[in-house]
Amino acid sequence: MRFTPGFLDELRARLPLADGISRRVRLKKRGRDHLGLCPFHKEKTPSFTVNEDKGFYHCFGCGAHGDAIDFVMRSENLTFPEAVEQLAGQAGLPLPAETEREGRAPGPGLHAALEAAAAWFEAQLRAPAGRTARDYLAGRGVDEATRRRVRLGFAPDDANRAGVPGVQRMVRRDGRRRGVRGLARFDTTVR
């Protein structure tokens, strides 16, 4: 389940944080903040503050910190979607349609680019440069059938020619051919 940032911002704006927390914690106004006993641990001196302007609570005793959604999740032991649904009901905010919440599925271009990258790494493992990696895998008991089944690959040290790693060259070339745009600049180097 996915909620858009705009929906979550609207939800937070409609629910005053101190009002929601004061249902479980007795809060006293101290300057701009509200102060009370933390509901997440036992204490005698108030260390739980709610800052309405910044939209968060914080306990200086146990370190609990978050916004209205985090508070409901933690205090009522709910998952994120359950907490959002509960707060939306309190705020009178209708939940977005399921298709809106799920967001956009990755397009076929992204799948094609990932498939092309995986195939490139697999080819590098089978190439002469991958011999050391193949020997290592064989020493670990990984046979060729397993390598093919789980699609293991290899990134050779010499892939970085002229500042462009080999997989980047491949994605640029294959991406243009397959109509994938915006993938020309990414870094696969582990530093």
Q: What is the pLDDT of residue 37?
A: 92
- Residue 30 has φ and ψ, to the nearest 5°, of -130, 100
Q: Is pLDDT of 22 > 80?
A: yes
pLDDT in tens, 154-170: 887 765 554 445 656 66
Q: What is the pLDDT of residue 98?
A: 66
In the chain, where are the structural domains located? 5-102, 108-178
Mean pLDDT over 103-118 rounds to 72
DSSP run (H or E) holding 165: strand 164-165
Q: Is pLDDT of 21 > 80?
A: yes
pLDDT in tens, 55-78: 899 999 999 999 999 999 998 999
Q: Is pLDDT of 185 > 90?
A: no
| pTM of structure | 0.51
* Superfamily of the domain at 5-102: Zinc finger, CHC2-typedomain (3.90.580.10)
Provide the β-strand partners of residue 161. Answer: 164
**Angle at Cα 185 formed by Cα 150 and Cα 107, nearest 5°?**
60
10 Å Cβ neighbour count for 70? 15
Specify the residue for token string 């370190």: 63
Q: Name the token pair of 20.
A: 């929601």
Q: What is the pLDDT of residue 100?
A: 45
Are 50 and 21 in contact, with CB atoms under 8 Å apart? yes
Band of pLDDT at residue 174, cut at 50, 70 and 90: low
Are 27 and 18 in contact, with CB atoms under 8 Å apart? yes
Mean pLDDT over 180-188 rounds to 47
pLDDT in tens, 115-145: 888 888 898 889 888 888 899 889 999 998 9
Write down the mean pLDDT value for the chain: 80
